[in-house]
Amino acid sequence: MNEEILLDVKHLSHVFSLSKKVRIQAVDDVSFQIRRGEIVGLVGESGSGKSTVARCVMNVYRPKEGEIFYKGINLCDRKEFREHKRMLQSKRQFIFQDSDSALNQRMKVWEIIAEPMKIQHVTPPRGTLRAEAEFQMHLVGLDAGYLDKYPPELSGGQRQRVAIARALAMEPELLVADEPIASLDVSIQAQIVNLFKQLQRQHGFSILFIAHDLAMVEFLCDRVGVMHHGKLVEMAPVKELFEAPRHPYTRSLISAIPIPDPKRERARKTGKEMDKEWMDA
């Protein structure tokens, strides 16, 4: 793995104002880095702030406080962002949880995949936009028969593959995947996670993988960060985090992962014991 720091998040905070008097601290002083070629997972319960972090990284939200650097470029500085806008829009790609709403329902699959290249005026390496779309579809396991279909004609897993193909068409250095498997069946989830792993090995891009399924994160990621009430309570290499979690909240998450062996499952601490450990910490 390249030790070059691709993404550097420093003291990131974000607040949502629901009214003049009501404010929600979604992210509170979060810092982490992603190296080139590294897969970093962010896990936590719904509302923990992990998706807000992803949207700040991709400039969907403007952070209340803190700085985000991509290849040394301060994404929170409007002038710097404008100067590098074309590169940033090409080399960082976002994959959303809901592929149904992320894809234009009135466009054919090949048009959806080719759209970023068309917008960025990228010359297709394989001659035409359609040929490039077909090549990207092959990479994600879809054959040419899907080129002229529309999103409503596809299954959830097929739509997510199209979304991944669209991102890959720009040859990104960073993929930010915000719970990309949450709305899929369990068997399809495994296929998509395997696809991410395979594509990362082939292309060498970095991934910020947002999820709440710890088993998938353990399989895919190099390092894992745990979010709780907007804070990053723990960040560690995946093996270290799952074998020796330090924070009580991390231990409670890991303890909730089902174990196929009934004897080992019964030997676990009870919920009351976990609650007591959490309160005593």
Give 2-43 as a DSSP string. Answer: ---EEEEEEEEEEEEESSSS-EEEEEEEEEEEEETT-EEEEE
pLDDT averaged over the chain? Answer: 89
Average pLDDT over residues 216-244: 95
Residue 273 has pLDDT above 90, yes or no: no
User: DSSP E strands: which ranges in the chain?
Assistant: 5-17, 23-35, 39-43, 65-70, 73-74, 92-95, 174-178, 206-211, 223-228, 231-237
Nearest 5°: the CA angle 198, 204, 208 is: 85
- Residues above pLDDT 70, as percent of the chain: 91
164 contact partners, CB below 8 Å, separation of at least 6: 95, 140, 180, 192, 195, 196, 199
pLDDT band at 275 (very low <50, low <70, confident <90, very high): very low
pLDDT band at 105 (very low <50, low <70, confident <90, very high): very high
pLDDT band at 95 (very low <50, low <70, confident <90, very high): very high
pLDDT band at 101 (very low <50, low <70, confident <90, very high): confident
Give CA–CA dist 205/53, Å, rounded: 19
Residue 109 has pLDDT above 70, yes or no: yes
**pLDDT at site 277:** 52
**Exposure pattern of 98-122 as b/e (b: 16+ CB <10 Å)?**
bbbebbeeeebbbbbbbbbbeeeeb
Listed residue (25, 84, 33, 22) closest to 59, CA to CA: 84
Beta bridge partners of 235: 225
Torsion of CA 246, 28, 45, 235, to 10 degrees: -30
